[in-house]
Chain A
Amino acid sequence: KQEVTQIPAALSVPEGENLVLNCSFTDSAIYNLQWFRQDPGKGLTSLLLIQSSQREQTSGRLNASLDKSSGRSTLYIAASQPGDSATYLCAPAAGNKLTFGGGTRVLVKP
Protein backbone atom coordinates (compact mmCIF):
# COMPACT_ATOMS: atom_id res chain seq x y z
CA LYS A 1 0.00 0.00 0.00
CA GLN A 2 1.38 3.38 -1.02
CA GLU A 3 2.15 5.75 1.84
CA VAL A 4 3.00 9.39 1.19
CA THR A 5 4.69 11.70 3.67
CA GLN A 6 5.15 15.42 3.31
CA ILE A 7 7.67 17.33 5.37
CA PRO A 8 7.41 19.87 6.85
CA ALA A 9 3.72 19.87 7.77
CA ALA A 10 3.77 23.66 8.00
CA LEU A 11 6.14 26.37 6.85
CA SER A 12 6.21 30.12 7.40
CA VAL A 13 8.60 32.33 5.41
CA PRO A 14 9.01 36.02 4.64
CA GLU A 15 8.09 37.18 1.18
CA GLY A 16 10.86 36.69 -1.38
CA GLU A 17 12.35 33.57 0.14
CA ASN A 18 12.51 30.35 -1.86
CA LEU A 19 10.31 27.49 -0.70
CA VAL A 20 11.37 23.83 -0.63
CA LEU A 21 8.61 21.27 -0.05
CA ASN A 22 9.44 17.61 0.32
CA CYS A 23 7.42 14.52 -0.52
CA SER A 24 8.39 10.89 0.02
CA PHE A 25 6.50 7.77 -1.04
CA THR A 26 7.01 4.10 -0.26
CA ASP A 27 6.09 2.39 -3.55
CA SER A 28 8.24 3.47 -6.50
CA ALA A 29 6.00 1.71 -9.06
CA ILE A 30 4.24 4.91 -10.09
CA TYR A 31 3.11 6.30 -13.46
CA ASN A 32 3.54 9.92 -12.52
CA LEU A 33 3.41 12.34 -9.62
CA GLN A 34 1.25 15.44 -9.36
CA TRP A 35 1.66 18.49 -7.16
CA PHE A 36 -1.50 20.36 -6.18
CA ARG A 37 -2.34 23.56 -4.39
CA GLN A 38 -5.38 23.83 -2.12
CA ASP A 39 -6.73 27.06 -0.67
CA PRO A 40 -8.79 26.82 2.54
CA GLY A 41 -12.19 25.25 1.94
CA LYS A 42 -11.57 24.91 -1.79
CA GLY A 43 -10.84 22.17 -4.29
CA LEU A 44 -7.42 21.24 -5.64
CA THR A 45 -5.57 23.08 -8.38
CA SER A 46 -3.04 21.06 -10.36
CA LEU A 47 0.38 22.70 -10.45
CA LEU A 48 2.71 20.23 -12.11
CA LEU A 49 2.69 16.65 -13.33
CA ILE A 50 5.94 14.72 -13.67
CA GLN A 51 5.89 11.51 -15.66
CA SER A 52 7.77 8.58 -14.11
CA SER A 53 10.37 8.81 -16.88
CA GLN A 54 11.11 12.48 -16.14
CA ARG A 55 13.44 13.90 -13.52
CA GLU A 56 12.15 17.47 -13.50
CA GLN A 57 9.27 19.68 -14.57
CA THR A 58 9.07 23.47 -14.53
CA SER A 59 6.26 25.98 -14.74
CA GLY A 60 7.06 29.63 -14.11
CA ARG A 61 8.40 30.00 -10.56
CA LEU A 62 7.66 26.34 -9.82
CA ASN A 63 10.07 23.48 -10.30
CA ALA A 64 9.42 19.89 -9.29
CA SER A 65 11.96 17.09 -9.23
CA LEU A 66 11.34 13.37 -9.06
CA ASP A 67 13.67 10.59 -7.92
CA LYS A 68 11.49 7.57 -8.42
CA SER A 69 14.01 5.00 -7.25
CA SER A 70 14.41 6.66 -3.87
CA GLY A 71 10.73 7.58 -3.60
CA ARG A 72 11.19 11.33 -3.38
CA SER A 73 9.90 14.46 -5.02
CA THR A 74 10.62 18.08 -4.20
CA LEU A 75 8.68 21.18 -5.14
CA TYR A 76 10.63 24.42 -5.32
CA ILE A 77 8.86 27.76 -5.40
CA ALA A 78 11.15 30.66 -6.24
CA ALA A 79 10.77 34.17 -4.84
CA SER A 80 7.68 33.41 -2.75
CA GLN A 81 4.76 35.84 -2.65
CA PRO A 82 1.90 36.21 -0.14
CA GLY A 83 -0.41 34.77 -2.82
CA ASP A 84 1.53 31.50 -2.59
CA SER A 85 0.07 30.93 0.87
CA ALA A 86 -1.88 27.66 0.64
CA THR A 87 -1.57 23.94 1.33
CA TYR A 88 0.55 22.02 -1.15
CA LEU A 89 -0.19 18.35 -1.74
CA CYS A 90 1.82 15.74 -3.60
CA ALA A 91 0.17 12.68 -5.10
CA PRO A 92 1.94 9.81 -6.84
CA ALA A 93 -0.27 7.93 -9.29
CA ALA A 94 -0.38 4.16 -9.55
CA GLY A 95 -3.03 2.50 -11.61
CA ASN A 96 -5.83 4.99 -11.95
CA LYS A 97 -5.78 6.61 -8.56
CA LEU A 98 -3.77 9.22 -6.73
CA THR A 99 -2.48 8.69 -3.20
CA PHE A 100 -2.09 11.96 -1.35
CA GLY A 101 0.21 13.09 1.39
CA GLY A 102 -1.09 15.16 4.27
CA GLY A 103 0.16 18.35 2.68
CA THR A 104 2.46 21.20 3.66
CA ARG A 105 0.68 24.34 4.86
CA VAL A 106 2.62 27.37 3.64
CA LEU A 107 2.33 30.93 4.92
CA VAL A 108 4.25 33.66 3.12
CA LYS A 109 4.40 36.82 5.22
CA PRO A 110 4.51 40.19 3.46
Chain B
Amino acid sequence: DTGVSQDPRHKITKRGQNVTFRCDPISEHNRLYWYRQTLGQGPEFLTYFQNEAQLEKSRLLSDRFSAERPKGSFSTLEIQRTEQGDSAMYLCASSPIGQTQETQYFGPGTRLLVL
Protein backbone atom coordinates (compact mmCIF):
# COMPACT_ATOMS: atom_id res chain seq x y z
CA ASP B 1 0.00 0.00 0.00
CA THR B 2 1.46 3.37 -0.97
CA GLY B 3 -0.89 5.63 0.96
CA VAL B 4 -0.02 7.98 3.81
CA SER B 5 0.97 6.05 6.93
CA GLN B 6 1.11 7.23 10.53
CA ASP B 7 2.67 5.70 13.59
CA PRO B 8 1.58 4.97 16.25
CA ARG B 9 -2.13 4.63 15.60
CA HIS B 10 -2.97 5.08 19.27
CA LYS B 11 -1.08 6.65 22.15
CA ILE B 12 -2.04 6.94 25.80
CA THR B 13 0.18 9.10 27.97
CA LYS B 14 0.15 10.85 31.30
CA ARG B 15 -0.07 14.60 31.61
CA GLY B 16 3.35 16.20 31.45
CA GLN B 17 4.97 13.51 29.29
CA ASN B 18 6.39 14.14 25.81
CA VAL B 19 5.06 12.28 22.78
CA THR B 20 6.23 12.03 19.18
CA PHE B 21 4.24 10.97 16.14
CA ARG B 22 5.52 9.99 12.73
CA CYS B 23 4.01 10.48 9.28
CA ASP B 24 5.22 8.90 6.05
CA PRO B 25 3.66 10.64 3.05
CA ILE B 26 2.93 9.18 -0.33
CA SER B 27 6.18 8.75 -2.20
CA GLU B 28 7.19 11.83 -4.21
CA HIS B 29 4.59 14.07 -2.57
CA ASN B 30 6.41 17.30 -1.83
CA ARG B 31 3.79 18.78 0.49
CA LEU B 32 2.98 17.45 3.92
CA TYR B 33 0.34 18.75 6.34
CA TRP B 34 -0.59 18.16 9.97
CA TYR B 35 -4.14 18.62 11.26
CA ARG B 36 -5.77 18.04 14.63
CA GLN B 37 -9.31 16.77 15.08
CA THR B 38 -11.23 16.73 18.35
CA LEU B 39 -14.32 14.62 18.88
CA GLY B 40 -17.31 15.75 16.82
CA GLN B 41 -15.40 18.51 15.03
CA GLY B 42 -13.76 18.85 11.65
CA PRO B 43 -9.95 18.79 11.44
CA GLU B 44 -8.03 22.00 12.11
CA PHE B 45 -4.84 22.95 10.28
CA LEU B 46 -1.65 22.88 12.33
CA THR B 47 1.30 23.19 9.97
CA TYR B 48 2.53 22.58 6.45
CA PHE B 49 5.84 21.60 4.81
CA GLN B 50 7.03 21.90 1.27
CA ASN B 51 9.94 19.49 1.03
CA GLU B 52 11.92 20.09 4.24
CA ALA B 53 10.81 23.71 4.71
CA GLN B 54 8.05 24.45 7.23
CA LEU B 55 6.17 27.20 5.45
CA GLU B 56 3.15 27.85 7.63
CA LYS B 57 2.16 27.29 11.24
CA SER B 58 -1.23 27.83 12.84
CA ARG B 59 -1.63 29.80 16.03
CA LEU B 60 -2.99 26.51 17.40
CA LEU B 61 0.58 25.24 17.34
CA SER B 62 1.80 26.44 20.73
CA ASP B 63 5.47 26.43 21.65
CA ARG B 64 4.96 22.96 23.17
CA PHE B 65 4.45 21.63 19.64
CA SER B 66 7.24 21.15 17.13
CA ALA B 67 7.19 19.54 13.72
CA GLU B 68 10.08 18.54 11.51
CA ARG B 69 10.63 17.06 8.09
CA PRO B 70 14.42 16.80 8.02
CA LYS B 71 15.00 15.13 4.66
CA GLY B 72 11.83 16.16 2.92
CA SER B 73 10.35 12.69 3.30
CA PHE B 74 8.78 11.59 6.61
CA SER B 75 7.74 14.09 9.27
CA THR B 76 7.52 14.02 13.05
CA LEU B 77 5.22 15.98 15.35
CA GLU B 78 6.34 16.27 18.96
CA ILE B 79 4.23 17.52 21.83
CA GLN B 80 6.12 18.42 25.00
CA ARG B 81 4.59 18.50 28.48
CA THR B 82 1.29 17.13 27.25
CA GLU B 83 -1.95 18.48 28.67
CA GLN B 84 -5.40 16.88 28.75
CA GLY B 85 -6.53 19.39 26.14
CA ASP B 86 -4.06 17.84 23.69
CA SER B 87 -6.22 14.72 23.52
CA ALA B 88 -7.31 14.49 19.89
CA MET B 89 -6.75 12.70 16.59
CA TYR B 90 -3.64 13.96 14.82
CA LEU B 91 -3.95 13.63 11.06
CA CYS B 92 -1.25 13.87 8.44
CA ALA B 93 -1.86 14.52 4.76
CA SER B 94 0.30 14.86 1.67
CA SER B 95 -0.10 16.23 -1.81
CA PRO B 96 2.02 16.63 -4.93
CA ILE B 97 2.99 20.03 -6.31
CA GLY B 98 0.91 20.87 -9.34
CA GLN B 99 -0.23 23.84 -11.32
CA THR B 100 -3.27 24.11 -9.10
CA GLN B 101 -3.81 23.13 -5.51
CA GLU B 102 -3.92 19.37 -5.51
CA THR B 103 -5.96 16.82 -3.62
CA GLN B 104 -4.69 16.19 -0.09
CA TYR B 105 -4.50 12.51 0.83
CA PHE B 106 -4.91 11.73 4.49
CA GLY B 107 -3.41 9.04 6.68
CA PRO B 108 -5.36 7.00 9.26
CA GLY B 109 -4.40 9.35 12.09
CA THR B 110 -2.83 8.96 15.53
CA ARG B 111 -5.32 9.08 18.37
CA LEU B 112 -3.79 10.63 21.50
CA LEU B 113 -5.30 10.33 24.96
CA VAL B 114 -3.70 12.33 27.75
CA LEU B 115 -4.68 11.14 31.23
Q: Which A residues are within 8 Å of any B CB, using their own CB?
A: 4, 31-32, 34, 36, 41-46, 49, 51, 89, 91, 93, 95-103
Q: How far is the CB of B30 from chain A (nearest CB, A)?
A: 11
A32 vs B103: C-alpha distance when bound (angstroms): 9
Contact of B56 among A36, A49, A96 (CB under 8 A): A96
* In contact, B103 and A49 (Cβ under 8 angstroms): yes
**Residue B62 interfacial (CB < 8 Å):** no
Chain B window 12-45, contacts with chain A (Cβ cutoff 8 Å), 1 for yes, 0 for no = 0000000000000000000101010000111111
Contact flag A43-B109 (CB < 8 Å), given A4-B42, A95-B56, A100-B43: yes
* In contact, B91 and A44 (Cβ under 8 angstroms): yes
Chain B window 76-97, contacts with chain A (Cβ cutoff 8 Å), 1 for yes, 0 for no = 0000000000000001010000
Return chain A residues, CB-CB under 8 Å to B4.
43
Q: A97-B48, A98-B45, A103-B42 known; 11 other A-B pairs, CB under 8 Å? A: A41-B111, A43-B109, A45-B106, A46-B103, A46-B105, A89-B42, A96-B55, A96-B101, A98-B43, A100-B44, A102-B41
* In contact, B100 and A32 (Cβ under 8 angstroms): yes
* In contact, A44 and B101 (Cβ under 8 angstroms): no
A31 vs B41: C-alpha distance when bound (angstroms): 23
**Residue B66 interfacial (CB < 8 Å):** no
* In contact, B106 and A44 (Cβ under 8 angstroms): yes
Contact of B101 among A45, A89, A93 (CB under 8 A): A93
A49 vs B41: C-alpha distance when bound (angstroms): 21
* In contact, A42 and B108 (Cβ under 8 angstroms): yes
A48 vs B6: C-alpha distance when bound (angstroms): 23
Contact of A51 among B33, B100, B109, B111 (CB under 8 A): B100
A4 vs B103: C-alpha distance when bound (angstroms): 18
* In contact, A96 and B105 (Cβ under 8 angstroms): no
Q: How far is the CB of B11 from chain A (nearest CB, A)?
A: 14
A46 vs B41: C-alpha distance when bound (angstroms): 17
Return chain B residues, CB-CB under 8 Å to A91.
42
A31 vs B48: C-alpha distance when bound (angstroms): 17
Contact flag A43-B45 (CB < 8 Å), given A96-B55, A96-B101, A97-B56: no
